[in-house]
Amino acid sequence: GKARLSRMDKAETTCGYCAVGCRFDLYGKDDEVLAARPADPEATPANDFSTCVKGKFGYDYVNSDERLDQPLVKEDGEFREATWGEALDRVAEGLSDIQDQYGPDTVSVLSSSKTTNEENFAIQKFARQVLGTKNIDNCTRLCHSSTVAALKQTVGYGAMTNRIEDIGNTDCYLITGANTTESHPVLATRIKQNARDGADLFVFDPRKIDLAEHADQYTRTEGGHDIAWINGMIRHIVENDLQDDEFIEERTRNFAAVEEKVQEFTPEKVEELTNVSPEELANAAETIAEADTCVFGWAMGISQHTYGTQTVLALADLALVTGHLGKPNAGLSPFRGQNNVQGGGGDMGPIPDNLPGYQELSDEGVLERFEEEWGVRPPDEPGLRVTEMFDEVDEGNLRGMYVVGENPAISEPDLTNARESLEELEFLAVQDIFMTETAEYADVVLPAAAITEKYGTVTNTERRVQMVRPVADPPGKAHADWEIVQKLAERLGFDWGYENPTGIMDEINELVPIYGGITHERLEERGEGLQWPCPDEDHPGTANLYTEGFNFEDGKARFVPADLGDPTELPNEEFPIALTSGRVLYHWHTGQLTRRDEGLMSHVGESYAEIHPETAGTIGVADGEYVEVESKRGSIVVKAKVTDRTAPGKVFIPMHFAKGAVNKLTQEELDPISRIPDYKMASVRVRSVGAN
């Protein structure tokens, strides 16, 4: 009750799970988080009063006895407790010894979308300035790197063009490859309400997800050839003269190339490749073209393919043809995953192909500005992506890693391979809040603070920078990531001298033009945060991108024709079933947080495979029995969940579990442009192993 809450500490803060960026008041005492309650509505632009089950109740992990509260070092294959001094010395030596012997680029750093913007900035600075390595990446590679690559080419910024508010107010939706109800619950609530009030909702997806039940048209796509139906829609629009001529003429370039490209995507071809009927294709294309406003929403079902970049190019072309950009209530809306993947994972530059704020490695002026501030010129050529790092370990080109808050031993595709590489590293330091599957391989483990224990900013899926504030103390000797990395820098000869995260934000304001005016001082005054680009302190932030011009020198968007890619692994006689993976509402990514939550585990306590009743009949498995699912790369045993959500001949397995880890089955094929893995396409066979 109220009396109890009044005896606790309270902080207005931002959710640490997904990138919707819901805000609420958190209550805590000492090192425990005790309750979440709605915050001042002024301060909750993403969620109003709503939150989902994770943001509301998912705090057992913070309070867990399994939190790391001491630095650990490995001796004779066993971890023992160590002082901070010893642990930090070992990390500094471990990395610099390798660099002295083999060169600066034989070590790499993985940063984390679960830490703050300030911390990500500090971590990439540690890689570029202190270690002088070009190899810095993070999990954004695994989710929307293809989206970012495509949007940079077509509209200019690799980010959502509109606001979350627009997602509740548009006239029309095309949602594809996004299970919004489970992955971005508060967005789904907005979409369903608006659809009930009359907005047209089109869902194209191989799985009959919850949003499909609310759609005006749900189309079960075959999967593997999404470019075909999107290009087919553009063809239909142009053929019927429904394109936005004025928009195309005034605001874009290169339309003719796309017009020509889409010719081959006849309704017959589209139907053959994707199962989308000519009627469904025409209905969706016409409604989208004729709507005043439309939001195009997508996530991993589109991005995680070897042709992910091409598919997002096709979506961008569709938005440009119909003119649904650069105005309120319309836009391209990639739904980002981690709470800070947009900011920490992208904007802050812990990525190997550009400096913070998407500034080019080839821009001499930018390099000079960083050199002036840091006293060291950042490496000016692109480094390894996380998906390339493990192969380089096998080749002997990468020997040491410093991993902050990432868990590649669960998140990498083809896990058996990735784990062998982790084992092979000469030196591995892991900084995290738990002994993760990856930390088990480490030489040194550094205990970090959770998001509820620190101060700083995170940037949600609509580019909104919002504050997080501490409501509890880190357990034992754990520290915030920025403090740990600052101490490491000091041991390696760089005295950063940040007194707090505000000191880091001041440097971000200096060096990152799109964050130029996003100061802590302003954010403390504005509960609703600020959306980038925000170049100076008088700038109100940018709600909708491209209202004036696109992010190119001439202000015009670029049409880029999208090529139909080849599916990497189709079902065959030996492995006749198509596998996809994804999220469930009650869990989070590699499961380190939610698998420790009793309440959430009571909803979904173990991994499972969704199997269509027909397919279950063929295999001879009943709901609740166990099946062995096997691909070329490995096998797992999981519970069968018989349901028609999944199409006949396909299985779906969630990605959050260590036992029954789906990435033992997935393949390491990469998109040539973004190097995102093809998580969404693998072929398996399934056999019943009985009730177990």
From 19-27, 132-140, 399-407, 424-432, span contacting ligand SF4 (CB under 6 A): 19-27
Q: How buried is 254 (Cβ within 10 angstroms: 0-12 exposed, 13-18 middle, 19+ buried)?
A: middle
CA 183, CA 299: separation in Å to the nearest integer? 9
Q: From the CB of 596, what's the least distance to ligand SF4, in Å?
A: 16
- The correct pick among 17, 247, 441, 652 for binding ligand SF4 (CB under 6 A) is 17
Confirm if 252 and 557 have CB atoms less than 8 A apart. yes
**By C-alpha distance, which of 570, 507, 540 is closest to 370?**
507
> What is the DSSP code string of 320-343?
HHHT--SSTT-EEEE---BTTIII
Per residue, the 3-state secondary structure of 479-542, as one string, reads ECHHHHHHHHHHHCCCCCCCCCHHHHHHHHHHHCHHHCCCCHHHHHHCCCCEECCCCCCCCCCC
Confirm if 13 and 453 have CB atoms less than 8 A apart. no
Tokens 């990390």: give the residue.
Answer: 91
Q: From the CB of 689, what's the least distance to ligand SF4, in Å?
A: 34
Q: How many residues bind ligand SF4 (CB under 6 A)?
A: 13
> What is the DSSP code string of 125-185?
HIIIIII--S-EE-THHHHTHHHHHHHHHHTSSSS-SS-HHHHTT-SEEEEES--HHHHSH
- The correct pick among 54, 190, 463, 664 for binding ligand SF4 (CB under 6 A) is 54
Output 38 or 278, the one with its CB closest to ligand SF4: 38
278 alpha carbon, distance to own chain's centre: 33
Q: From the CB of 457, what's the least distance to ligand SF4, in Å?
A: 15
From 11-19, 496-504, 513-521, 665-673, span contacting ligand SF4 (CB under 6 A): 11-19
From 50-58, 234-242, 368-376, 641-649, span contacting ligand SF4 (CB under 6 A): 50-58
Cβ neighbours around 266 below 10 Å, total: 16
Nearest residue to ligand SF4, scored by beta-carbon proximity: 55
From 49-57, 86-94, 214-222, 606-614, span contacting ligand SF4 (CB under 6 A): 49-57
- The correct pick among 18, 203, 332, 398 for binding ligand SF4 (CB under 6 A) is 18
Cα distances (angstroms) measured from residue 458 to each of 2, 172, 339, 345, 347: 29, 29, 7, 10, 10
Q: Which residues lie below 8 Å from residue 315, measured CB to CB, with a gap of 6+?
A: 150, 176, 230, 296, 298, 302, 332
Q: From the CB of 574, what's the least distance to ligand SF4, in Å?
A: 39
Q: From the CB of 285, what's the least distance to ligand SF4, in Å?
A: 31
Output 51 or 436, the one with its CB closest to ligand SF4: 51
Q: From the CB of 208, what's the least distance to ligand SF4, in Å?
A: 22
Output 17 or 370, the one with its CB closest to ligand SF4: 17
- The correct pick among 11, 12, 13, 20 for binding ligand SF4 (CB under 6 A) is 20
Output 600 or 682, the one with its CB closest to ligand SF4: 600
> What is the DSSP code string of 299-326?
-HHHHSSTTHHHHHHHHHHHHHHHT--S
Amino acid letter for position 268: E
Output 34 or 435, the one with its CB closest to ligand SF4: 34
Output 181 or 329, the one with its CB closest to ligand SF4: 181
Q: From the CB of 342, what's the least distance to ligand SF4, in Å?
A: 13
Alpha helices in 13-109 (DSSP H): 53-57, 60-63, 84-102
**By C-alpha distance, which of 146, 145, 135, 158 is closest to 385?**
135
From 46-54, 109-117, 309-317, 512-520, span contacting ligand SF4 (CB under 6 A): 46-54
From 44-52, 212-220, 399-407, 436-444, span contacting ligand SF4 (CB under 6 A): 44-52
Over the window 560 to 599, marking each residue x when it contacts ligand SF4 by CB under 6 A and - when it does not, the resulting string is ----------------------------------------
Tally of CA atoms within 13 A in the half-sphere of 670 that contains its CB? 15
- The correct pick among 55, 334, 475, 517 for binding ligand SF4 (CB under 6 A) is 55
From 16-24, 574-582, 664-672, 675-683, span contacting ligand SF4 (CB under 6 A): 16-24
Q: From the CB of 319, what's the least distance to ligand SF4, in Å?
A: 25
- The correct pick among 11, 22, 43, 505 for binding ligand SF4 (CB under 6 A) is 22
CA 687, CA 367: separation in Å to the nearest integer? 56
Q: Which residues lie below 8 Å from residue 653, measured CB to CB, with a gap of 6+?
A: 579, 580, 581, 607, 608, 609, 610, 629, 636, 638, 660, 662, 665
DSSP state, residue 18: B
Output 164 or 518, the one with its CB closest to ligand SF4: 164
Output 15 or 320, the one with its CB closest to ligand SF4: 15
Output 42 or 279, the one with its CB closest to ligand SF4: 42
Tally of CA atoms within 13 A in the half-sphere of 210 that contains its CB? 14
51 contributes a contact to ligand SF4 by CB under 6 A: yes
Output 186 or 299, the one with its CB closest to ligand SF4: 186
Structure tokens given for 552 = 């190119």
Output 167 or 445, the one with its CB closest to ligand SF4: 167
Output 221 or 460, the one with its CB closest to ligand SF4: 460
Q: From the CB of 55, what's the least distance to ligand SF4, in Å?
A: 2
Cα distances (angstroms) measured from residue 190 to each of 23, 284, 333: 16, 21, 14
**By C-alpha distance, which of 276, 341, 298 is closest to 111?**
341
Q: From the CB of 22, what's the least distance to ligand SF4, in Å?
A: 3
Residues in the chain: 692
Q: From the CB of 186, what's the least distance to ligand SF4, in Å?
A: 4
Q: From the CB of 656, what's the least distance to ligand SF4, in Å?
A: 14
Report 178-237 residues binding ligand SF4 (CB under 6 A).
Answer: 185-186
Tokens 């627009």: give the residue.
Answer: 166
First to last CA, the chain: 44
Amino acid letter for position 590: T
Output 135 or 592, the one with its CB closest to ligand SF4: 592
Output 479 or 587, the one with its CB closest to ligand SF4: 587
CA 88, CA 91: separation in Å to the nearest integer? 5
From 17-25, 239-247, 315-323, 532-540, span contacting ligand SF4 (CB under 6 A): 17-25
Report 147-186 residues binding ligand SF4 (CB under 6 A).
Answer: 185-186
Amino acid letter for position 676: I
Q: Which residues contact ligand SF4 (rule: CB under 6 A)?
A: 15, 17-18, 20-22, 47, 51-52, 54-55, 185-186
